[in-house]
Structure 1
Amino acid sequence: MEELSAEIEHVSRIVGRYFPIYETRVTPNLFSFFVRTDETTLETKFDQLRMEMTPLRYVPILTLENGEQVIHVQKRPKATYRSTNMNLILLVATIGTTVFAGMIHWAGYEGIPLYSLKTLAFGTLFFAFPLLAILATHEFGHYYMARKHKVAASLPFFIPSFPPLGTFGAVISMRDPIPNRKALLDIGIAGPIFGLIVAIPVTAIGLYLTGVGARPLPANIGEGGGLVFFPPILFQFLESVIPVPHGVLSHPTLFAGWVGLFVTALNLIPAGQLDGGHIARALFGKKATYLSYGSLLVLFTLGFLYFGWMIIALLIMLLGATHPPPLNDVTGLDLKRKVVGSSAAVMLVLCFVIVPVAQIPIISDFEFREADEPWQELTYDNFSVSANTVYNYSFFINNTGNIRENITLATNLNRSMIRDGWDALFVMKYKGGELEGMEGYVELNASGETNMTLRIYIPAGASPGNYSLEISGVVREFGFPEKSFELIIRVQ
């Protein structure tokens, strides 16, 4: 009991040096001092009180309760922190995974083998370096502003991941409570501003490199399909200034810039512990809770268009949908900070895109087309011949899918035609001549087409009349789709 009384008296003397105390209340683990304050010096004196109490492991919290200003003081448990070795290990791992992602992007961009010194060097230079520069600058903004406000913060913890990014970003840990709403806003908005300052020129450089070394899109989608990334407003504006040709591959640096803009938008969502949540709490105080839940509702709704938003909304909820108050939640923001804080909404709109990524599905399809009118799909055709002749019937096959297709062709002669001596063979041409076969084989790139010849042998004993012949085709890899058309042969 004597120790408690001595502790209360000790804490009371410290608080009393900055604010007149007119009432003291004691509850387990919490001392509450009702104080009189001067608005002109409140923020400065409270910050001085915080700085004096921090080494003593006390945390002061200034609140307004029923019109009275109360300073709650609680003992802070002794904290232990990981050494910077963990930061270094994660940084090295993230550099490795991001460089590997860059190698994949560069190999795909140039159409060269993945494992080579060129993909290692260029993947690092044109993807890993700019992406990590954006993320590191973002986290440095938080760290710099935290140190400026004398808030202890850890070095960035980079998070390695799988391609196509190679990283989930980075975070820093605040080791001290945020002192006031000014510090909360400054620390929260510094990361997006710093990161965007780097992301914009990276995107611009990526647009320039995409245009200078324009590489046409590949004719075929890969076996796993493909991804298309949709540009936010800021990206579209930069593209209007630095236009790129249509239908070309994006340079890996351009993708790194796009990721930087997307990360900026993601962090500025005004919910939970995101940077946008910090900014909203600084601007609107307790009312920011409504904005946080409203943002989650919007994300869940957008999740019907892009499922990733639902996952992000769930993560925000798991980490905490509401934001704790700063130690001094009484002192508001000055006009300059309100303007800067409002700019976060502008940055969010410029960098946000409702559907950031979409899957390009594999489409396997083809069509038969007429030789004389290749724009016309072929479902039926007819011609007249004489008995005891050989007729070369030509038609086109067009790959209407988005992958390279191997199409097997076949004919279907009815029994009576086979008995009478009819035959129909596909003519396969090669450098040395041609080869006839009962089946035809065609290999086509997406949107590609080729002319095929079916050599029909009409026997001498063929009676005058109409004969039906079916030509069919199927994509060998999948066994579908299977298509056919009917050929009516009129023997005169």
Structure 2
Amino acid sequence: MIESSIIDGIVKKYYDVSEVENTRYSMVFHIQGRGNEKTFGYLLDELDTVGATAFTNDFPDSQIIVINNGNVSRERRGLKTLMLFLSMAALIYTGSVYYSSYYSSDLIYRNIIYGTLFYAIPVIFILLFREAGKYIALRKNHIKYNFPIFVPSPGLGTLGTINSNKNQFRDSKSMIEAGTFSLLFGFFASVVLIIAGAAIMPYVNYSSAIHSPISALNFPLVFPLALDHLFPAYIIPDPLELAGYVGIITTALNSMPVGFMDGGLVFSGILGKQFKYASYAGIAILLAASILYPYILILVVLSVLLGIKGALPMNNFFKPRASVKWLALVIVVIVLILGFAPLPLHNTNSNNVAIPDSCYIMQQNNTGNVSVNITVQNHGVNISPLFSVTPGNFTVKGFTQNKTDTIYTLELITYNHNYSGRKNFTITVDTGMRSVQKTVSVYFLKPDSNMHINKAPGPESLTEKEYKPFNITVFNYSNRTLNAQIIPIFNGTGLYMIGYPVNNTEIELNPYSPGGVFFGIPGKGNQKLTMVSYDPGNLKLIILEHGGQALIVNINILPEPQPKTLSPPGIFPTINYTGYYYMQLDTIHSFYNF
């Protein structure tokens, strides 16, 4: 301990001392009156010149406890340097992998360079800009700045920083200012990088040169609340834009009221000794979030090792004004709510493209084209999906867009092609998040002069009742046996054929079955088909012969009360039952009269 007479003289210069206690490592001064906030600051400045420091105690009376500065453990620069190196390495790795997948680049050196320039360095810039805000607050309060501990993490590359537990905050106000300045600076820098990333991203159609490795991003609430008109929720961010997103996430994580994090400084300054309970709650929240995103456990472990109770002010004689507390609390809560995402980065198998299960019918001479509506979740204002159709050509006629979805209308060029019967077209949609393929069927039909339904030329309309079997008789006016296929296209109606080809059975009619249901009609003969439906609705029944020759019957199924003894599907035992098929009639191309 420094010469006690020197310490005694310095303290008595600023305070009225009633009693002094000397211990091995400290001197305890019992004082009359507490002076003001500036008085204690002057005392600390003068004690620092002789290698000492002090803190206050208000129980059982007002006390100033002076200790040697050597009793305050020094900075662990080696540990901080190592954590910074690991964070930078993790960020470079994340940036290079993201850049490689985003732009389909196979050049390792290029991926590392651009991943570093457009992701790793911008994220580090955000974290250092946060520290600049903290530095300003500490210098304003005449407090020495200590470099933070960087937190490396797989996935995003970092979880931000944690303040050094060696910082000596003179009062609660300085703690509140240091925490809020850091959060505000980090949030502002993140938003600037998001806007800059969106501005430099090329305004081109999506191609194989742009591909995001991320299947889904849970974006912070700042996107839908503050930036929705610029950045829809399902955006694929440019690497620089992603860096801004990571900055917002890490800033929000550090606003949690835990230990030595920025939020911990603010809440400790507000709550004082009661802060430990808020810190326990914050740890519990982070542990719950780590169930979804396990890397948050790294932040939890470091916070526990550095101290859950966090920092305490050296001078607890004076508390900040209520207005200061409320303003800081509002700032922290806003940053936390807008930026916190418990699952910032994950993979998902959820589909972001919807291609309808549709069958289309074209007229005899193929004088039109087939239009298919494809719904794609909105990925931002700068990237549109890549479409391809095989076989044949197509055009994108247009699209309609809302805040979450875009509906593209693809027109399959079928005009004047020599197609007949059923033709399958494979549509591929590549959104950058996934590639989706779907096969749609188009039936190119010609009038059949050999077949008629119920002795009348088609098309014919029938009205039948749900749950009640009905008959359709197909007549063959040719001398040869006709082999035909039954194809139903329906809206909310499951159609079953009874007693054919096996007596006392039902077989489900499915427009997607490659073979379909076939039957034969002898020359100059007929074939009776018995059917039943277990749902009301409208359907078109195609009886298709070779070469695309067909008859069509329109059937309207009226709703009826379900028989008590019936559990559909099932008047008879069912074979080949795979479930109901629901079609949308509004996706069927207009029928043409032959």
TM-score interval for Structure 1 and Structure 2 normalised by the shorter chain: 0.5 to 0.7
Kindly indicate whether residue 50 of structure 2 is the aligned counterpart of residue 44 of structure 1: no
Change (3 A) 1:167 1:370: closer
Change (3 A) 1:313 1:89: closer
Change (3 A) 1:354 1:92: closer
CA distance in 2, matches of 1:34, 1:314: 39
- TM-score (ref. length: structure 1): 0.66
Q: Which residue of 1 aligns with 2:119?
A: 127
Contact in 1 for aligned 2:74/2:166 (Cα 8 Å) = no
Amino acid aligned to 2:133: G
SS of 2:347's partner is strand
SS of 2:309's partner is coil
Contact in 1 for aligned 2:55/2:315 (Cα 8 Å) = yes
Contact in 1 for aligned 2:101/2:210 (Cα 8 Å) = no
Contact in 2 for aligned 1:153/1:174 (Cα 8 Å) = no
Gaps of 5+ in 2: 362-369, 373-419, 443-499, 503-511, 522-594
What pairs up with 1:188-207 in 2 under 5 angstroms? 188-207=179-198
Contact in 1 for aligned 2:259/2:311 (Cα 8 Å) = no
The one of 12, 16, 19 equivalent to 1:16 is: 12
Change (3 A) 1:292 1:484: farther
Q: How many residues align?
A: 400
Percent identity between the aligned chains? 21
Contact in 1 for aligned 2:425/2:439 (Cα 8 Å) = yes
1:167-217 CA-partner distances (Å, limit 9, x unpaired) = 45445636452221122122222211221221111122234445x535549
Q: Which residue of 1 aligns with 2:253?
A: 266
Kindly indicate whether residue 101 of structure 2 is the aligned counterpart of residue 108 of structure 1: yes
Change (3 A) 1:279 1:156: closer
CA distance in 2, matches of 1:307, 1:27: 47
SS of 1:62's partner is strand
Q: Which residue of 2 aligns with 1:327?
A: 314
Kindly indicate whether residue 286 of structure 2 is the aligned counterpart of residue 290 of structure 1: no
SS of 1:25's partner is strand
Amino acid aligned to 2:279: S
The one of 442, 445, 448 equivalent to 2:438 is: 448
Kindly indicate whether residue 133 of structure 2 is the aligned counterpart of residue 141 of structure 1: yes
SS of 2:315's partner is coil
The one of 50, 55, 73 equivalent to 1:56 is: 50
CA distance in 1, matches of 2:295, 2:90: 22
CA distance in 2, matches of 1:220, 1:193: 33
Change (3 A) 1:234 1:487: closer
Q: CA deviation at 1:250?
A: 1.8
Contact in 2 for aligned 1:30/1:73 (Cα 8 Å) = yes
Change (3 A) 1:111 1:448: farther
Change (3 A) 1:19 1:227: farther
SS of 2:21's partner is strand
Change (3 A) 1:159 1:340: same
The one of 166, 175, 182 equivalent to 1:184 is: 175
Contact in 1 for aligned 2:159/2:299 (Cα 8 Å) = no
SS of 1:152's partner is coil
Q: Which residue of 2 aligns with 1:344?
A: 332
CA distance in 2, matches of 1:263, 1:247: 20
SS of 1:277's partner is helix
Contact in 2 for aligned 1:219/1:402 (Cα 8 Å) = no
Q: CA deviation at 1:309?
A: 5.6
Kindly indicate whether residue 351 of structure 2 is the aligned counterpart of residue 360 of structure 1: no
CA distance in 1, matches of 2:119, 2:265: 30
CA distance in 2, matches of 1:322, 1:165: 28
Q: CA deviation at 1:27?
A: 4.2
Q: Which residue of 2 aligns with 1:281?
A: 268
Q: CA deviation at 1:352?
A: 2.1
Q: Which residue of 2 aligns with 1:72?
A: 65
Q: CA deviation at 1:22?
A: 0.8
Contact in 2 for aligned 1:87/1:157 (Cα 8 Å) = yes
Amino acid aligned to 1:233: L
Change (3 A) 1:249 1:300: closer
Kindly indicate whether residue 219 of structure 2 is the aligned counterpart of residue 231 of structure 1: yes
Change (3 A) 1:274 1:218: farther
Amino acid aligned to 1:110: Y
Q: CA deviation at 1:33?
A: 1.4
Q: Which residue of 2 aligns with 1:240?
A: 228
SS of 1:250's partner is coil
CA distance in 1, matches of 2:343, 2:159: 19
CA distance in 2, matches of 1:197, 1:292: 26
CA distance in 1, matches of 2:324, 2:273: 18
Q: CA deviation at 1:65?
A: 1.0
1:251-304 CA-partner distances (Å, limit 9, x unpaired) = 112211111111111011112221111100111211222222233344445556
SS of 2:9's partner is helix
CA distance in 2, matches of 1:229, 1:217: 21
